[in-house]
């Protein structure tokens, strides 16, 4: 289904018990009723290249449910392929600390909120079955919140296949007529990209740029790649609307003053 939200399970095979019907994934399966699909490497078919299938599944993922243990952190594939690709394509990470591990040594993890939180782990602090199910419920509720947030963002984003009828902020004449942006001078382009900074992520989502295209953006030049994407589609006129939509009227003013 085209609007399915996909959740990739990133884990070490040493923690495979959490994929069981009587464990975490089994507790979360009910979320699939809301047009959500979980993917694990157990879906790889005989004869398929597991590396290619995993990378393709990561490419389609909206959320990565990351089951963290020392075995996971010590795995070159988990760290250098799965997590690296998630970070590159801005996949939403949802980490769960299963057992004691040196998570503080990993910037991608120590800089994020995770569950259970603090110094707690699933195996140390939720040994009694009732407590663990209560934790699994908390995980399910917060994962549902993340799912709802992404689905709402999808609904509010404009359809890139259809022209927008929204009035585009842009340079105006004395009579108030809007002049559509068709060209961006070099100096304005450079200033725009310097000021946009990390807001390029929100701009890419607002404009509906596919994840596979975002994954191919050059680090540090994402804004320039967004402009190139718009120019390829003769859609540069959508830039002021996008900047206005993500709360950057200062950059809309920059475009208005261009030329």
Last residue of a domain, one of 103, 124, 156: 156
DSSP structural state of residue 175: T
Whether 50 and 131 map to the same domain: the answer is yes
What's the full length of the chain, in residues?
259
Looking up residue 179, the CATH number of its domain turns out to be 1.10.533
Whether 137 and 12 map to the same domain: the answer is yes
Whether 40 and 113 map to the same domain: the answer is yes
Q: Summarize pLDDT for 93-134 with one digit per residue, the tens.
A: 999 999 999 999 999 998 888 999 889 999 999 999 999 999
Calpha distance 125→118 (Å, rounded):
11
Calpha distance 84→77 (Å, rounded):
10
Give the pLDDT of residue 3. Answer: 77
Q: Summarize pLDDT for 205-246 with one digit per residue, the tens.
A: 888 888 878 888 888 888 988 988 888 777 888 888 888 888
Q: Is residue 89 part of a domain?
A: yes
How far is residue 110 from each of residues 8, 127, 178, measured CA to CA in Å?
Answer: 20, 24, 47
Whether 140 and 209 map to the same domain: the answer is no
Give the pLDDT of residue 173. Answer: 33
- Name the 3-class secondary structure at 47: coil
Q: For residue 175, give every residue at least 6 positions away whose Cβ sits within 8 Å of its Cβ, in sequence order, or none.
A: none
Calpha distance 18→26 (Å, rounded):
8
Task: Report angle CA 23, 24, 26 to the nearest 5 degrees.
Answer: 70
Looking up residue 60, the CATH number of its domain turns out to be 3.40.50.10140
Q: How many domains does the chain have?
A: 2
- Name the 3-class secondary structure at 114: coil
Give the pLDDT of residue 169. Answer: 41
CB 197 within 8 A of CB 221: no
- Name the 3-class secondary structure at 137: helix
Residue 162: pLDDT band with limits 50, 70, 90? very low
Q: Is residue 15 part of a domain?
A: yes
Whether 194 and 74 map to the same domain: the answer is no
Q: Is residue 53 part of a domain?
A: yes
DSSP string, 191-239: HHHHHHGGGHHHHHHHHT--HHHHHTSPTT-HHHHHHHHHHHTT-GGGH
For residue 44, what are the domain limits? 5-156
Q: Is residue 163 part of a domain?
A: no
């Amino acid at each position: 289904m085209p609007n399915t939200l996909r959740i990739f399970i990133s884990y070490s095979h040493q923690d495979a018990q959490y994929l069981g019907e009587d464990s975490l994934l089994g507790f979360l399966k009910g979320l699939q009723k809301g047009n959500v699909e979980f993917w694990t490497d157990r879906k790889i078919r005989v004869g398929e290249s597991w590396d290619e299938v995993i990378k393709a599944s990561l490419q389609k993922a909206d959320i990565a449910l990351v089951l963290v243990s020392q075995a996971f952190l010590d795995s070159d594939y988990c760290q250098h392929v799965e997590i690296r690709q998630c970070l590159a394509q801005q996949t939403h990470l949802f980490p769960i600390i299963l057992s004691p591990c040196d998570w503080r040594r990993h910037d991608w993890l120590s800089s994020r909120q995770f569950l259970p939180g603090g110094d707690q782990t699933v195996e140390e602090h939720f040994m009694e079955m009732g407590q663990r199910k209560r934790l699994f419920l908390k995980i399910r509720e917060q994962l549902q919140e993340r799912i709802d947030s992404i689905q709402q963002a999808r609904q509010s984003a404009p359809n890139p296949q259809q022209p927008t009828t929204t009035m585009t902020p842009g340079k105006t004449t004395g009579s108030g007529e809007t002049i559509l942006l068709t060209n961006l001078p070099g100096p304005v382009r450079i200033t725009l990209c310097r000021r946009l900074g990390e807001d390029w992520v929100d701009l890419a989502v607002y404009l509906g740029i596919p994840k596979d295209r975002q994954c191919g953006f050059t680090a540090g030049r994402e804004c320039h790649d967004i402009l190139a994407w718009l120019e390829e589609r003769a859609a540069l006129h959508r830039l002021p609307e996008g900047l206005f939509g993500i709360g950057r009227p200062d950059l809309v003013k920059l475009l208005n003053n261009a030329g």
